[in-house]
Amino acid sequence: MKKRIVVSGLGIVSPIGIGKDKFAQNLKAGKSGVSLIEHFDTKDFSTKIAGVVKDFNPEQRIDKKKIKRMARFAQIGFYAACEAIEDSKLDLSKENLSRIGVITGTGMGGLGVMEEEVATLIARGPKRVSPFLIPMIISNMLPGEIAIKFGFTGPNYTTTSACSSSNHALGDAMKVLQAGEADVMISGGSESVISPLGLAGFCSMKALSQNNDHPQEASRPFDQNRDGFVMGEGAGIVVLETLEHAQARGAKIYAELIGFGASDDAYHITAPDPDGRAAILAMEAAIKSAQIAPHEIDYINAHGTSTTLNDKIETFAIKKVFGAHAKDIPISSTKSMTGHLLGGAAGVELIAIIVSIQGGFIHPTINYQTPDPECDLDYVPNVARERQINIAISNSLGFGGHNTTLVVKKYD
């Protein structure tokens, strides 16, 4: 028998709210966090909008001196981790810290810092480059900083697989706990690359929506008039524990992780396989590892990026996996509100599922106005739906063909 793995703490920093309560409120209300970019000049960019985290004050949880030595993705992720650990009510004075580990995901780490320091190198020479450049840009610094703060000496690393990074981290953390290598794991992901270079790169790929005049309507997954994704930033971090450890300390349990599947398209560096074969494999593997039947899934949090190819192919893959049952499964895209948080997306979307389970609702896919004949499932358009969720899956499909599916169950 596999050890049962439960979620006992939630921490979130997102474009639609910091903290689980505000996030849940805005998620249910269908509030968009997308706006015009204001922290740098976008005059020469084809896209001028993003899901930027507003009102973020790292000094609430991070020492001022340390803030200057942490890239924004690490600040956001560290803040969310502190919030999750506090929410879990772990008494670290009573824990074996060698049995607590950290695995988080990110796609590009401290890209903004690298950009700034390259400019310094060119303008002022190598001696003026920050001595903190390397530790600020490397993606593993977030779990390292969390471990240093709390003294966790268990398994500790970062997963990087583009938009699947956080789901890979959560899947690995779940396996570490199931294998008995730890009692508690801090996991999820963080991303913040809304910088001139990051935006320019995605603009050049023609991957982004250019609906600059109506920012809050730009991310429109599964809608026939979708024209690309909207960049976002944020972090979703959770505390995972074995069930016996959580019960022994009397922890509040939010949900249970019961399955995980992963695959790769082996097709193209950015475009998904038009046959959706590997996305199908990931969902099937997750369902098999959860030891459930496909008809038991009653909600899907889709990857749902608002790009022409992703939404069509994800819909096709879902229909192949679930057959006739696909028409009966409510599906929604958190990205319609937050934008695409890239490597941090799946951590935030897991928390979206959990607060929906807790609140008895399914959040909407906002901006769904014109049905697409090739996207013909139930995407919970525009308005939240009161509904009890028992078992849900979360899909993440990343550049490089990386596909991951996590299975989440209401705790019983």
Token output for 57: 């004050």
Distances in Å between the Cα of 233 and the Cα atoms of 28, 189, 191, 236, 281 are 20, 11, 5, 10, 29
Backbone CA torsion sign across 156, 161, 166, 170: negative
CA dihedral (296, 84, 81, 28) in degrees, to 10, reads 60
**DSSP assignment, residue 297?**
-
**Tokens 């139930």 belong to residue:** 378
Q: Is 402 a catalytic residue?
A: no
Write phi, then psi, for 14 (nearest 5 degrees): -145, 165
- The two most distant CA atoms of the chain are separated, in Å, by 64
Alpha-carbon span 275 to 411, nearest angstrom: 35
Would you list the DSSP string of 257-301?
EEEEEEEE--S-SSSPPTT-HHHHHHHHHHHHHHT--GGG--EEE
| Number of helices followed by number of strands (H, E) in the chain | 13, 15
Q: Which residues, including other chains, have CB under 8 Å from residue 368's CB and lie 6 or more apart?
A: 220, 221, 222, 223, 336, 379, 381, 382
Catalytic residue among 82, 203, 245, 340: 340
Distances in Å between the Cα of 119 and the Cα atoms of 26, 114, 127, 235, 336 are 38, 9, 13, 27, 34
According to DSSP, the residues that pair with 108 across neighbouring strands are none
Alpha-carbon span 190 to 169, nearest angstrom: 11
CA-based nearest residue to 166, from 338, 336, 407, 404? 404
Token output for 236: 């979703």
Q: Is 245 a catalytic residue?
A: no
Backbone CA torsion sign across 58, 59, 60, 62: positive
Catalytic residue among 82, 168, 203, 303: 303
Q: Is 168 a catalytic residue?
A: no
Distances in Å between the Cα of 288 and the Cα atoms of 120, 389, 407 are 51, 19, 10
Alpha-carbon span 70 to 55, nearest angstrom: 18
Token output for 15: 């474009």
Strands 100-105, 49-50: pairing kind: unpaired
Catalytic residue among 163, 245, 375, 402: 163
Catalytic residues: 163, 303, 340
